[in-house]
């Protein structure tokens, strides 16, 4: 009887996940509005500065501004930032409820298939990002992070969705929450790190105050390159040990379940390559002579490997880790 599914909890989990998805979409719209307002403030400041330089350069009187033209614009923009952040926290709360109720529905730790894996990872990513971007001048990263998040959640609730059910016998072990949760949290923080590394590379290509072209107009409201690089680095520092511990726990579980620590299974191999890439990124960041941009590309490649592992390896390649429920 303990393995029976609680359909009420299962329905509540699906409902709260979809509601969180809608809340994030609204937050994304508000984030785009905020992004546009910040862009307008930057343009107004630069135009005012250029005009002042022209007047002073021509021998005219130095203009004493009655009030800063962008003060009202800044206040207005901050309202949108505040609403975005508030909605994100509402979405996070719903997201976490969806995960907990999924576990209550299935009477087990809810990491038994790809749907639950992505449900958990997207929740962790949103918690990490919500904490990281609390600073006022970092809210402009929200459109860049919420957009891929809503796409992932949409795919999860449509393509990857599975009804709550007991797991296969191979996963009925206390090692499931220990191994999968540590790997998932590590991978989630790693994806955040990779996203900031990608934004850092964009910022390096479009330095603050020297933006040009369409890409420059898009990148203008982003934080400076140093800030983005620091966030990418600090989150990767968390990723490396967490992801590594998860791999070690997986090896111990493999010994218990299959009688060997390592078998070069597709998911094991790609996970190890990903961990090595994060180690290489951190080593490159700490090594004199390595350009930060070159190191950032290693981080981006590690992020790509994580996404490849979650999608292609989980759904297409048959192996000992084929528990996605799709292959």
Q: What is the pLDDT of residues 110-158, one digit of tens each?
A: 998 899 999 999 999 999 999 998 876 789 999 999 999 999 999 999 9
In three-state secondary structure terms, 324 is coil
* Rounded average pLDDT over 168-186: 86
Q: What is the model's pLDDT at position 151? A: 97
Domain boundary among 104, 120, 136: 120
- Is 146 within a domain? no
Q: Where are the alpha helices (DSSP H) in the chain?
A: 7-57, 71-106, 114-132, 142-158, 175-205, 213-219, 225-258, 266-286, 292-308, 314-315
* Position with higher pLDDT, 9 vs 72: 9
pTM: 0.88
Same domain for 177 and 79, yes or no, is no
In three-state secondary structure terms, 317 is coil
- Is 140 within a domain? no
* Rounded average pLDDT over 154-168: 90
Same domain for 186 and 327, yes or no, is yes
Q: What whole-number distance in Å separates Cα of residue 248 and Cα of residue 246? A: 5
* Rounded average pLDDT over 167-194: 89
Residue 66 has pLDDT above 50, yes or no: no
Cβ 178 vs Cβ 249: under 8 Å: yes
Same domain for 112 and 178, yes or no, is no
Q: How many domains does the chain have?
A: 2
Residue 58 confidence class, pLDDT cut points 50, 70, 90: low
Nearest to 129 by CA among 76, 199, 77: 199
Q: Report how far apart, in Å, the C-alpha atoms of 224 and of each of 36, 202, 203, 242, 292 are.
A: 17, 10, 7, 28, 14
Same domain for 46 and 176, yes or no, is no
Same domain for 95 and 179, yes or no, is no
Q: Mean pLDDT lowest for which of 145-149, 236-240, 315-319?
A: 315-319
Q: Mean pLDDT lowest for which of 52-66, 68-82, 196-210, 307-321?
A: 52-66
Residue 326 has pLDDT above 50, yes or no: no
Domain boundary among 62, 85, 120: 120
Q: What six digits make up the tokens of 74?
A: 């800044």
Q: Which range marks the domain in which residue 82 is found?
A: 1-120
Residue 267 confidence class, pLDDT cut points 50, 70, 90: confident
Q: What is the model's pLDDT at position 327? A: 44
């Amino acid at each position: 009887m303990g393995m029976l599914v609680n359909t009420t909890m299962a329905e509540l989990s699906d409902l709260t996940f979809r509601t969180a998805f809608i809340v994030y979409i609204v937050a994304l719209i508000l984030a785009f509005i905020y992004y546009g307002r910040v862009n307008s403030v930057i343009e107004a400041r630069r135009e005012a500065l250029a005009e002042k330089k022209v007047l002073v350069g021509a021998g005219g009187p130095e203009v004493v501004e009655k009030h800063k033209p962008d003060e009202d614009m800044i206040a207005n923009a901050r309202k949108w930032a505040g609403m975005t952040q508030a909605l994100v926290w509402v979405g996070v709360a719903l997201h976490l409820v969806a995960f907990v109720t999924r576990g209550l529905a299935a009477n087990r730790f809810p990491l038994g298939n790809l749907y639950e894996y992505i449900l958990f990872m997207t929740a962790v990513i949103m918690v990490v990002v919500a904490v990281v971007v609390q600073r006022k001048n970092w809210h402009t990263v929200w459109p860049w992070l919420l957009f891929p998040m809503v796409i992932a959640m949409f795919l999860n609730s449509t393509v990857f969705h599975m009804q709550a059910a007991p797991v296969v016998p191979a996963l009925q072990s206390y090692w499931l929450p220990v191994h999968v949760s540590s790997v998932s949290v590590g991978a989630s923080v790693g994806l955040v790190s990779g996203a900031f590394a990608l934004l850092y590379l964009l910022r390096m290509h479009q330095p603050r105050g020297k933006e040009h072209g369409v890409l420059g107009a898009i990148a203008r409201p982003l934080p400076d390159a140093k800030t983005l690089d620091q966030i990418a680095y600090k989150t990767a520092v968390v990723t490396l040990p967490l992801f590594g511990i998860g791999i070690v726990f997986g090896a111990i579980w493999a010994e218990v379940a299959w009688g060997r620590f390592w078998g070069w299974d597709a998911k094991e191999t790609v996970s190890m390559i990903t961990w090595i890439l994060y180690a290489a990124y951190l080593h490159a960041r700490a090594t004199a002579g390595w350009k930060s941009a070159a190191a950032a590309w290693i981080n981006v490649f590690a992020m790509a490997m994580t996404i490849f592992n979650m999608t292609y390896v989980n759904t297409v390649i048959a192996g000992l880790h084929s528990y996605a429920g799709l292959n």
